[in-house]
Structure 1
Amino acid sequence: METIIRQEAEWILSQQLPGGAVVTAYPGQPKIVPYFAHLALYGLAAWGLNLSRVRAYLDWYLARLERPDRYGVTGTVYDYHLEGEGAEIPAYTYDSSDSYAATFLTLVRLYYGTSGDRAWLEDHWPELDLVAGAMLATLQRDNLTLARPDWRVKYLMDNCEVYRGLKDYAWLLAQVRRSAGEAERYEALAGKVREAIEAKMRVNGGYCPAIYRAGLRRRPNWKKWYPDALAQLFPIITGVVTLGDDAARRLYGNFLRNYPHWHRQAQPENFTTTLVLYAAALMEDRWRVRQYVAGLEENIIARGHPWPYHAAEAGILLLAIKAYLTGSSGEQWY
């Protein structure tokens, strides 16, 4: 696995442009999608690998904050198309304002955790506050966020990531900025989001993947892979449920009952995202982790990383391997 860590770290970096952006190599249309870039760099930051390159991306992101964007939100970053000689052309839209911002703050926490780069944080608190504001721009009275101002759906995945982002920003404020009041405010907000997920989205044996207008809740269809089944792992991945508790074990057990052979699906034509691998590593499902990684090495890595494997998958793979090798500390993402 040490060889895989080194190889995949180098491959992630091969997807980074000179200016710092990380590309998602969609077939025929490479694109900069900040959300996927964050996941790609989680693995490097968690392992403390090539941190100068991680910092280059952080600088790229903060240099492109909108003030405000087309939806009226300040602190967001658009997706970008690549044209001509690598020109980065803004798409003037993004998939979500809440998740992009939340996962960026988690990446900053991971970066600081291994770099100790206090100077970078001190130079960028004003921009980081804008990102935190973008994460909360769509927070509703029920303490759940909408994906985007014009897309009034509250997704389980997004709100789990917002919970994690709030926790991570609270930690940075307390440990680095020494701002106890602000840290307590974000920690309290994280608690409210977690409570709302449990109160509004918990259903028998899992969570509804989305809440629509007027509070319409969708019960999870465990046979529908995305978003329903995959979303069930996000409370585990982001710490909404505590590792080792009955709630986490029941959730993962329900997933296994519906997808008992997920670990055998590590080939391009039938690919299971490495997010499942990370959840399995956190739950100490070590046998399935080993089986999946062996299949991934043979069918994906050795074959030149064919689609749908991309840089974000590699980043989460590195996180999963770290959880597998070092054991879970009860904290997710790192």
Structure 2
Amino acid sequence: MKKSILTGVLFGLLAISVACKKDQHPGKIPLTDDPANPEQPVTLSIYDSVINNQVKYIAALQMASGALKDNEASNSRICGYFANSACRALLKKPTAENVTIVKKYMAWYMSKLNGSTNPVTGKPEIPGSIYDYYAPAETTNGTYDSVDSYAATFLSLAKELAELSAADKAWVTGYATQLTLIGSAMEKCIDNTDNSVPTTFSPEDNDGLSVDSYVHGAKYTMDNAEVNEGLKSMIWLQTNVLGGGKTAYFQTLLDANTAAIESQLWRGTMYNWNDDGSTGATISKWNAFYADATCQLFPGMFGVIDPVSPRANLLYSTFNVHYPAWSNGTIYSGAYPWTIVCYAAATLNDKARVDEYI
């Protein structure tokens, strides 16, 4: 499952910098290596310092093809889900250099879209999905962690790029065919009367929730929060880039997905981390960091519910009761620091914990 890997580390580090930036910053860092003005050192806030370092790191991970590696290893995985988040982070600081990196990556991603058959396994595939690849030769095993979240986060990236300028919108419009296919991939993951995902999963009840892929066949709260945002992005892209022919259809999908997250996954005190077909009390437990506790933050972060609503605040506060030391760097699950928790803190204006974490 994808979120057992470090979720949104680069997106989190850059996005929290924007979300929590104030007129007065903690931790000024003097830069005194400017020979032209040695007596007037430039100071960077800790936020700006983090942004600059992370931008350099992301840029260094880009291969000549445009692919973005997960890390610096020569044989690193290339995962569209994480690269989408990294590029969305770059657009928080949309310099010409950063936008160029994003466009180069997006062109690579759209050149790798799958057809209807997995070339490795020979099994049916969702057209418009994308596999994970591996450096240096960009080989693939014909696998991914999900279809729904990869597609949804890419569509949100495309929307954010198109919103920057008329020229960027025109660039995105030039890939209308590919964006339509990616939107279709996300759409085909949604459990409704139009779709029949060829895998065994339960419940198949046409409830409007997204199924992560043909492989796993699960309806995760995390994925559905990302898909909910992706559907909103697709509605915007339909209206502003793709001609608007399916705007109403995607609005219908969004309404159904939002309602299903509330009726199927929300259980009064917590979200079920996965729709297992049960009714009544939640199957999630606060003492299980992943996926039970972490998924409680996703509906607020991705706008399914108001990020500063009483529910979002209560879930975040309860998360901190059970995992109070995340902001000092304590890792509660595996080897990954779950930086996206800091992004959740930023969406709730918890500047104290954001500053401590940074």
Change (3 A) 1:238 1:87: same
Counting helix residues as a fraction of each chain, which structure ranks higher? 1
Alpha-carbon contact 1:47-1:114 (below 8 Å) kept:
no
1:25 is aligned to 71
Equivalent residue pairs, number = 287
Deviating runs (4+, > 6 A) in structure 1?
267-270
Q: How much does 1:150 deviate?
A: 2.8
Alpha-carbon contact 1:46-1:111 (below 8 Å) kept:
no
Alpha-carbon contact 1:205-1:254 (below 8 Å) kept:
no
Q: Structure 1 CA distance, aligned partners of 2:74 and 2:173?
A: 40
One-letter amino acid of the structure 2 residue matched with residue 139 of structure 1: I
1:131 is aligned to 182
Is residue 13 from structure 1 mapped to residue 59 from structure 2 by the alignment?
Answer: yes
Q: Which runs of 5+ in 1 are unaligned?
A: 294-334
Is residue 259 from structure 1 mapped to residue 310 from structure 2 by the alignment?
Answer: no
Give the alignment's TM-score, normalised by structure 2: 0.76
Q: Structure 2 CA distance, aligned partners of 1:247 and 1:111?
A: 31
Q: How much does 1:115 deviate?
A: 4.3
How do 1:1-334 and structure 2 match up within 5 A?
Answer: 1-25=47-71, 29-49=75-95, 50-70=98-118, 71-82=124-135, 86-116=136-166, 117-140=168-191, 141-179=206-244, 181-212=245-276, 215-216=277-278, 219-265=283-329, 272-293=337-358
Q: How much does 1:54 deviate?
A: 0.2
One-letter amino acid of the structure 2 residue matched with residue 167 of structure 1: K
CA offset digits 1:70-108 (Å, max 9, x no partner): 2331101111122xxx21112211110111111110111
Give the alignment's TM-score, normalised by structure 1: 0.81
Q: Structure 1 CA distance, aligned partners of 2:117 and 2:318?
A: 40
Q: Which runs of 5+ in 2 are unaligned?
A: 1-46, 119-123, 192-205
Secondary structure of the residue that 1:272 maps to in structure 2? coil
Alpha-carbon contact 2:131-2:144 (below 8 Å) kept:
yes
Q: How much does 1:26 deviate?
A: 8.2
Alpha-carbon contact 2:161-2:169 (below 8 Å) kept:
no
CA offset digits 1:34-93 (Å, max 9, x no partner): 1111111111023214101100011001111112242331101111122xxx21112211
Change (3 A) 1:126 1:185: same
Q: How much does 1:118 deviate?
A: 2.1
Change (3 A) 1:262 1:131: same
One-letter amino acid of the structure 1 residue matched with residue 234 of structure 2: Y
CA offset digits 1:180-236 (Å, max 9, x no partner): x52232123112101100100012322000123xx2476111111111111111101
Q: Structure 2 CA distance, aligned partners of 1:274 and 1:107?
A: 19
Q: How much does 1:262 deviate?
A: 1.6
CA offset digits 1:133-158 (Å, max 9, x no partner): 11121211110111111322110111
Q: Structure 1 CA distance, aligned partners of 2:354 and 2:165?
A: 28
Asked which structure has the greater CA Rg, the reply is: 2
Higher mean alpha-carbon deviation, 122-131 vs 264-273, is at: 264-273
Q: How much does 1:266 deviate?
A: 5.8
Change (3 A) 1:154 1:26: farther
What is the RMSD computed on CA atoms of the aligned residues?
Answer: 2.1
Q: Structure 2 CA distance, aligned partners of 1:259 and 1:131?
A: 37
Q: Structure 1 CA distance, aligned partners of 2:237 and 2:304?
A: 19
Change (3 A) 1:151 1:7: same
Secondary structure of the residue that 2:138 maps to in structure 1? strand
Change (3 A) 1:26 1:95: farther
Higher mean alpha-carbon deviation, 26-35 vs 203-212, is at: 26-35
Q: Structure 2 CA distance, aligned partners of 1:129 and 1:221?
A: 38
Q: Structure 2 CA distance, aligned partners of 1:93 and 1:110?
A: 27
Change (3 A) 1:69 1:23: farther
